[in-house]
A and B are shown apart, each in its own frame.
Chain A
Amino acid sequence: MTDEPRPVVAVIVFPGSNDDRDAQRALTRLGADAPRVWHADEKLPDGTAGVVLPGGFSFGDYLRCGAIARTSPIMRAVSAFADAGGLVLGICNGFQILTEARLLPGVLRANASLTFVCRDVPLLVERADTPFTSRCDDEERRELTIPVKNGEGCWFADDELLAELEANGQIALRYAPGGNPSGAVADVAGVVNADGNVFGLMPHPEHAVDPLLGSTDGALILGSLVDAARARSLAVVS
């Protein structure tokens, strides 16, 4: 482990979150201080430089995935943090929450197959200039393998919205041709907001940070976030 300062990347825990500890462990290995923050809290920890909304089934997926979680007290703080330019990453259920909170465009729906899908998927990084993908700024790191595990990962936007997002370059991550596990329109696996500081993806980078589990490509995503959070922490300190 390096001696570099450890930026605070808060991992939000909702009732029914189940990937918060994996996210915490991955972020910690990648050099962050990653406190888990309960959904009923109203404030983010002091010095928070990044926020991760983890995977799981918050509030039992009642009503629509993410629809209840986005009304949690902590989400007011997360929205304010995002509005101020703070880095927010949503993984799987976290992505669903961010779309319901309208911090990200589109919506996640039941997979076209109506089955729960749990497998490694091939991905193409479309944007390597975001705070969440900067470590992919190398041709060999544009093709990733990261697992998905979801029943409602089918990202949807109507034609008009999709065209707008494509024109803005907000489709930051796509399933490789033939590798779309959900029926997501335009093979979308992850989108970034217009300002580039909020990113959501269905695949689980926190499950792909150790060679024992087959792929370490997830570390490119989470490591990028840690890099960006550290840079912002240092900018505040200096």
Chain B
Amino acid sequence: MRATVLVRPKPGILDPQGQAVGTSLRDLGFAVGETRVGRLIDVEVDTNDAAAARDEIDAMCERLLTNPLIESYTIEFNGAEFNGAEFNDAGQGDA
């Protein structure tokens, strides 16, 4: 099955890239508030079991896809979104 991992800078972490994007949007005349930039990773996993896939992706995020010091993530399967594993402790997934 195909999963989408959404990686975001954790709340409170300075995001100069997001600030620059926000400034540019305002320069273009858009009335925007805080703007933050993350990363999207589509990954095909070799299972159709959502629980197994979540475990696998949690491991991928812990070992490579994210840096838990500064990033949190959520996982989407078939339109359903899940928060990352417990090490991903900032609760950013509800944003």
Contacts of B70 in A (CB 8 A): 107, 109, 156
Asked if B38 is at the interface (CB within 8 A of a chain A CB), the reply is no
Asked if B65 is at the interface (CB within 8 A of a chain A CB), the reply is yes
> Count of B residues near A, CB < 8 Å?
10
Q: What distance in Å separates the Cβ of A163 from its nearest Cβ neighbour in chain B?
A: 15
A 37-79 contacts with B by CB, 8 A: 63-64, 67, 71
Asked if A194 is at the interface (CB within 8 A of a chain B CB), the reply is no
Q: Are A67 and B16 in contact (CB under 8 A)?
A: no
Bound CA–CA A156/B15 (angstroms): 12
Q: What distance in Å separates the Cβ of A236 from its nearest Cβ neighbour in chain B?
A: 34
Q: What distance in Å separates the Cβ of A220 from its nearest Cβ neighbour in chain B?
A: 30
With contact pairs A112-B14, A114-B16 given, residues A107 and B64 touching in the complex (Cβ less than 8 Å)? no
B 39-95 contacts with A by CB, 8 A: 64-65, 67, 69-70
Asked if B17 is at the interface (CB within 8 A of a chain A CB), the reply is yes
Asked if A111 is at the interface (CB within 8 A of a chain B CB), the reply is yes
Asked if A157 is at the interface (CB within 8 A of a chain B CB), the reply is yes
With contact pairs A63-B64, A67-B64, A71-B64 given, residues A107 and B16 touching in the complex (Cβ less than 8 Å)? no
Asked if A195 is at the interface (CB within 8 A of a chain B CB), the reply is no
B 1-56 contacts with A by CB, 8 A: 13-14, 16-17, 20
Contacts of A64 in B (CB 8 A): 67
Asked if A196 is at the interface (CB within 8 A of a chain B CB), the reply is no
Q: Digit string of A198-231 for contact with B (CB within 8 Å is 1, else 0)? A: 0000000000000000000000000000000000
- Partner-B contacts on A (CB < 8 A): 63-64, 67, 71, 100, 106-107, 109-114, 156-158, 161, 183
- Partner-A contacts on B (CB < 8 A): 13-14, 16-17, 20, 64-65, 67, 69-70
Given contacts A109-B70, A183-B16, 6 further A-B contacts (CB under 8 A): A63-B64, A64-B67, A107-B69, A110-B17, A157-B69, A183-B14
22 A-B pairs within 8 Å (CB atoms) are namely: A63-B64, A67-B64, A67-B67, A100-B67, A106-B69, A107-B67, A107-B69, A107-B70, A109-B70, A110-B16, A110-B17, A111-B16, A113-B16, A114-B16, A114-B17, A114-B20, A156-B13, A156-B14, A156-B70, A157-B69, A161-B69, A183-B16
